[in-house]
Amino acid sequence: MRSIHDYYAELVFTKKVMEQKLSKNIYKKLIAAIENLEPLDQSIAGEVAHAMKEWALENGATHFTHWFQPQREKSRHRPET
């Protein structure tokens, strides 16, 4: 029997997967938003969601949900304690 450590985080929508599944322009905009804290271009949301869904289905997903938790400026940066 496989240990959970053998397969935990095995199927993750990583930057490498994003680069394969998204158009070059959409990938660049998404990475800029993630890495440079640039505002997310709302026009890319549909393609990103579709790519994630297709990738999940290719990997055997039978159910899919999208849980969005908006980040507010006050909650994004927590002070060090």
In a domain, 54, yes or no: yes
Provide the residue range defining the domain that includes 51: 16-59
Q: What's 81's DSSP letter?
A: -
In a domain, 1, yes or no: no
Split into its structural domains, the chain has a count of: 1
The pLDDT tens digits of the residues spanning 11-34 come to: 889 999 999 999 999 999 999 999
The pLDDT tens digits of the residues spanning 40-68 come to: 899 999 999 999 999 999 999 998 776 76
In a domain, 7, yes or no: no
In a domain, 66, yes or no: no
Confidence of residue 36 (pLDDT cuts 50, 70, 90): very high
pLDDT the model gives residue 60: 93
3-state secondary structure of 15: helix
Tokens coding 1: 């029997």
Residues 30 and 18: beta-carbon distance below 8 Å: yes
In a domain, 80, yes or no: no
pLDDT the model gives residue 7: 81
Confidence of residue 10 (pLDDT cuts 50, 70, 90): confident
